[in-house]
């Protein structure tokens, strides 16, 4: 029997921790139609890409909102927070949403999560931490298990191992999805990602944060990394993009479609 088929009340997992969101009824997969999902991140290219990835599974999950820069506002079963471009920033917004009980469940979707991030997420009432290294089908399975009452992804840190093409894959697909309202073409697709950039997922994330004007120390704090590690990533980004400084890198970030929500854009000088 697959985990998503189990009744958590009849088959309790011995490793499952007490749920800080106790009192919210989990719903078994398939009950009352597909799960209603809100995808949340600060970058248009990210939220539309995740929504496009889920679209083939619309009999099981339906993206009813794509939120850039804020928190989910629609009545949804799960708010899926993609951590691209700011782990601490996204985690703070997820915490606020859990505290306000605005949605049934909050899930983080990430390439990497160290023990510190996992501990903070669990203590905040986040229901799950799902890996971007998995397939779309695995993501949907995880969302269904969370909706049924399981807590997932807190026991083993996720390690980023040079994953390639996260944004390039999204760039190929964004033109196929609309604004989350059920119609396509309501908003112009964000710029296609430069396939020649050949940045790893972490390098893309560091580039996005250079576009915000953040220092190496700020980037390290945001991504739960060491400052020296960030310096290495910055040098790699410069080399691959053929730029010489942070200003040029920030310009290139915008050209590649990494334009953040207005709330996170650097103040005009």
- The tokens describing 94, both together, are 């997820």
Is residue 105's pLDDT more than 90? yes
Is there a contact between 202 and 160 (Cβ–Cβ < 8 Å)?
yes
Q: Distance between CA 202 and CA 182 in Å, rounded?
A: 32
Whole-number average pLDDT of the chain: 75
Least confident stretch, 116-120, 128-132, 189-193:
189-193
Is residue 71's pLDDT more than 50? yes
Q: Report the pLDDT value the prediction gives residue 266, as an integer from 0 to 100.
A: 47
Q: Report the pLDDT value the prediction gives residue 5, as an integer from 0 to 100.
A: 42
Alpha carbon of 134 to those of 17, 112, 131: distances in Å?
23, 12, 6
Q: What is the DSSP annotation of 160-187? A: ----B-HHHHHHHHGGG--SSSS-SSSS
Is there a contact between 134 and 113 (Cβ–Cβ < 8 Å)?
no
Rounded to whole angstroms, the maximal C-alpha distance in the chain is: 60
Is residue 101's pLDDT more than 60? yes
Q: Report the pLDDT value the prediction gives residue 112, as an integer from 0 to 100.
A: 85
Q: Report the pLDDT value the prediction gives residue 233, as an integer from 0 to 100.
A: 95
CA torsion sign for 62, 141, 20, 22 is positive
Helices (H) and strands (E) in the chain, counts: 9, 5
- The tokens describing 176, both together, are 């196929």
* Tens-digit pLDDT profile for residues 18-69: 344 444 444 544 456 899 999 988 888 888 899 999 999 999 999 988 766 5
Q: Report the pLDDT value the prediction gives residue 27, as an integer from 0 to 100.
A: 52
Is there a contact between 105 and 79 (Cβ–Cβ < 8 Å)?
yes
In order of start, what are the domains of the chain with their CATH numbers?
3-147 (3.40.50.2300)
Is there a contact between 96 and 79 (Cβ–Cβ < 8 Å)?
no
Percent of the chain with pLDDT over 70: 67
Q: Report the pLDDT value the prediction gives residue 215, as an integer from 0 to 100.
A: 94
């Amino acid at each position: 029997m697959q985990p998503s088929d189990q009744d958590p009340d009849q088959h309790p997992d011995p490793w499952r921790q007490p749920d800080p969101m106790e009192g919210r009824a989990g719903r078994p997969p398939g009950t009352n139609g597909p799960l209603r999902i809100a995808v949340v991140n600060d970058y248009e290219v990210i939220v539309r890409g995740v929504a496009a990835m889920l679209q083939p599974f619309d009999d099981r999950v339906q993206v009813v909102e794509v939120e850039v820069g804020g928190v989910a506002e629609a009545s949804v079963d799960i708010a899926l927070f993609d951590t691209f471009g700011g782990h601490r920033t996204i985690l703070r917004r997820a915490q606020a949403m859990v505290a306000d009980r605005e949605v049934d469940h909050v899930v983080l979707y990430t390439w990497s999560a160290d023990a510190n991030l996992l501990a903070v997420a669990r203590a905040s009432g986040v229901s799950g931490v799902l890996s971007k290294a998995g397939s779309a089908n695995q993501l949907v399975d995880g969302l269904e298990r969370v909706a049924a009452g399981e807590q997932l992804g807190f026991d083993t840190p996720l390690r980023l191992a040079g994953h390639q093409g996260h944004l390039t894959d999204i760039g190929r697909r964004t033109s196929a999805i609309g604004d989350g309202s059920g119609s396509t073409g309501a908003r112009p697709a964000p710029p296609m990602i430069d396939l020649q950039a050949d940045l790893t997922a972490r390098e893309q994330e560091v580039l996005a944060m250079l576009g915000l004007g953040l220092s190496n120390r700020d980037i390290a704090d945001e991504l739960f990394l060491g400052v020296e590690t960030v310096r290495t990533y910055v040098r790699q980004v410069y080399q691959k993009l053929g730029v010489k400084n942070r200003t040029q890198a920030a310009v290139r970030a915008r050209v590649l479609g990494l334009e953040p929500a207005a709330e996170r854009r650097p103040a005009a000088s």
